Structure 1
Amino acid sequence: MDVSSVRAVLLDMDGTLVDSDASVERAWTTWSGEHGLDPADVLPTVHGSPPAPTVRRLLPALDDTAVAASAQRQMELQYDDVADVVAAPGAHDLLAVLERRRLPWAVVTSADVRLAKARLGAAGIEPPLLVTVEDVRRGKPDPEGFLLAAGRLGVAPEACLVVEDSEPGLASGRAAGMRTAALRGLDGDLRITDLAELVRLLIA
Structure 2
Amino acid sequence: MIDIVASGVLFDMDGTLVDSTAVVEGAWSRFGAEHGIDPATILGFSHGRQTIDTVQHFLPELSLDEQQRIVDVMIAAETDNVDGITEVPGAADFVSRLVDAGVPVALVTSAPHELAVNRMRAAGVHVPGAVVASEDVEHGKPHPDGYLRGAALLGVDAGDCVAFEDAPAGLEAAIASGATTVVVGPLEAAVTAGLYRVGGYDGITVTREGDAFRLRG
Is the pair's TM-score, using the shorter chain for normalization, greater than 0.5? yes
- What amino acid does structure 2 have at the position aligned with 1:25? E
Change (3 A) 1:29 1:197: farther
Q: Are 1:11 and 1:108, in contact at CA under 8 Å, matched by a contact in 2? A: yes
- Corresponding position of 1:202: 215
Partner residue of 1:158? 159
Please identify runs of 4+ aligned residues in structure 1 that moved more than 6 A.
none
Do the aligned residues in 2 keep the contact of 1:142 with 1:172 (CA within 8 Å)?
A: yes
2: distance between equivalents of 1:131 and 1:94?
A: 20
Give the alignment's Cα RMSD to 1 decimal. 1.8
Structure 2 residue 58 is the aligned partner of structure 1 residue 58: yes
Q: Deviations over 1:47-66 (max 9, x none)?
A: 10001111111112112112
Q: Once the two structures are superposed, what CA deviation does each residue of 1:136-195 show, in whole Å capped at 9, x if it has no partner?
A: 111111111111110110111111011000011011011111110012234163122222
Cα pair distance change 1:106/1:27, threshold 3 Å: same
Question: Which structure shows the higher helix fraction?
Answer: 1
Q: For structure 1, which segment, 160-169 or 56-65, has the greater mean C-alpha deviation from structure 2 after superposition?
A: 56-65
State the SS of the aligned residue for 2:171: helix
**Deviation at residue 75 of structure 1 after TM alignment:** 1.5
Q: Which residue of 2 aligns with 1:173?
A: 174
Decide which moves more: 94-103 or 141-150.
Answer: 94-103
* Structure 2 counterpart SS, 1:195: coil
Unaligned 5+ segments in structure 1 are: none
Amino acid at match of 1:21: T
Q: Secondary structure at the match of 1:61?
A: coil
Alignment coverage as a number of residue pairs: 203
- Partners of 1:9 and 1:103 within 8 A in 2: yes
- Select the structure that is richer in strand: 2
CA contact (8 A) 1:93 1:199 kept: no
Measure, in 2, the Cα distance between the counterparts of 1:171 and 1:124.
Answer: 28
Match of 1:75 in 2: 75
Distance 1:138-1:28 versus aligned 2 partners, 3 A rule: same
Identical positions, percent: 37
Gaps of 5+ in 2: 207-213
Shift of 1:36: 1.9
Aligned to 1:147: 148
Q: TM-score, normalised by structure 1?
A: 0.92
TM normalised by structure 2 equals 0.87
